[in-house]
Amino acid sequence: MVDANHLSATEALASVTKALDVLVLTHDRGEIGVTETARELGISRSTAHRILVTLQRTGFVRHDPGQRGYSLGPQLARMGLDAIAHLGIRRQARRPLEELSEKLQETVCLYMLDGSVVRLLDGVECQQLLRVSVPLGQTLPAHITAAGKALLALRDPARVRATIPTELAATAAASITEWPLLEVELEEIRARGWAADLEESAHDLHGVAVAIRNRIGEPLAAISVQAPVVRLREQDMPAMATALQETTTTIATAE
């Protein structure tokens, strides 16, 4: 990227705009290469490479050994977490999450969809000796988590296809790795209104999630209950989903 001191105001603005376009493209694709960046943004490969290298140097994208393209970097993650701390949904959800965790005696979490992953915004750990921890900021592939699937189900299927990688990542033996199976499950989630994680994100862990919608029905985030298989059985999930739906209504209507 050329030094902005030697550019006109118009040229400098165009350079900044191109860099932002590259960040948005990287976010949408999950990983982007020089050739793809140049093609999608209508710029030369040398310009695309210059922008990506500059963004890498400043921490906005990363290019790890063995990685073919560039992905979003730690600087954006840090800034994103700072923004998350001020999100209205996190503030609105905090007290209802505490109440739900107390009622169910299980860990309850708040997630937001971020491209092809879900990011943990907040959570309340239960007091059980064997419990799920709440590492704020943690990301997981959306298609293997109850919260992620609850949110993906409310998106246009074509947008889901464009956002989620063609090769579905697996973190456990039961993770969904075939697109036809994922599409069938998302259709079932749309019909029943809640999603399940049956040891798909981790062995011996079950989860149930429901999306939080705004006043016009758009998904904002999702709340999930996560617990060991021995305490959260598959037959218990419909009742658990009802409790979650009541809490999402409380959060969505909070001022």
What are the backbone angles phi and psi of residue 73, rounded to the nearest 5°?
-100, 180
**Under 8 Å between Cβ of 165 and 151:** no
Q: What is the pLDDT of residues 65-95, one digit of tens each?
A: 767 788 888 887 767 665 654 467 888 999 9
pLDDT surpasses 90 at 203: yes
Q: Is residue 78 part of a domain?
A: no
Contact 39, 48 (CB under 8 A): no
Following DSSP, what letter does each residue of the chain receive, concatenated?
A: ---GGGS-HHHHHHHHHHHHHHHHHHHHHSSB-HHHHHHHHT--HHHHHHHHHHHHHTTSEE--TT-SSBEE-HHHHHHHHHHHTT-HHHHHHHHHHHHHHHHHTSEEEEEEEETTEEEEEEEE--S-SS-----TT-EEEGGGSHHHHHHHTTS-HHHHHHHS-SS---SSTT----HHHHHHHHHHHHHHS-EEEESSSSTTEEEEEEEEE-TTS-EEEEEEEEEETTTS-GGGHHHHHHHHHHHHHHHHT--
- Does a structural domain hold residue 80? no
Task: Give me the pLDDT at residue 85, please.
Answer: 47
Say whether both 154 and 243 belong to one domain: yes
Would you mind telling me the total number of residues written for the chain in this entry? 255
Tell me what the pLDDT averaged over the chain comes to.
87
Lowest pLDDT segment from 31-35, 104-108, 219-223:
31-35
C-alpha closest to that of 69 among 93, 94, 37: 37
| Residue 77 belongs to some domain of the structure | no
Domain boundary among 26, 45, 72: 72
Q: Among 72, 107, 125, where does a domain finish? A: 72
- Asked if residue 98 and residue 35 are part of one domain, the reply reads no
Together in a domain, 63 and 109: no
Query: Looking at 19-23, 61-65, 74-78, 220-224, which range is the least confident one?
Result: 74-78
Residue 19 pLDDT level (bands cut at 50, 70, 90): confident
pLDDT of residue 120 exceeding 80, the answer is yes
Lowest mean pLDDT among 91-100, 131-140, 239-248: 131-140
CA dist., res. 127 & res. 253, Å (int): 28
Q: Report the C-alpha dihedral over residues 128, 192, 142, 31, rounded to 10 degrees.
A: -170
- Specify the CATH number for the domain of residue 31: 1.10.10.10
Instruction: Give the pLDDT score at 2.
Output: 44
Range of 63's domain? Answer: 4-72
Region 209-234: mean pLDDT is 91
Give the model's pLDDT for residue 254: 76
Could you give phi then psi for residue 6, rounded to 5 degrees?
A: -100, 10
Of these ranges, 4-8, 14-18, 51-55, 172-176, the one predicted with the greatest mean pLDDT is: 172-176
pLDDT score, position 140: 94
Domain count for the chain, please give it.
2
User: What pLDDT was estimated at residue 181?
Assistant: 96
CA distance 182 to 162: 14
Predicted pLDDT at 255: 54
Is the pTM higher than 0.85? The answer reads: no
For residue 137, is it left (φ>0), alpha (ψ between -120 and 50) or beta?
left
In this prediction, residue 173 carries a pLDDT of 95
Q: Is the pLDDT of residue 168 over 90?
A: yes
User: What's the pLDDT at 7?
Assistant: 54
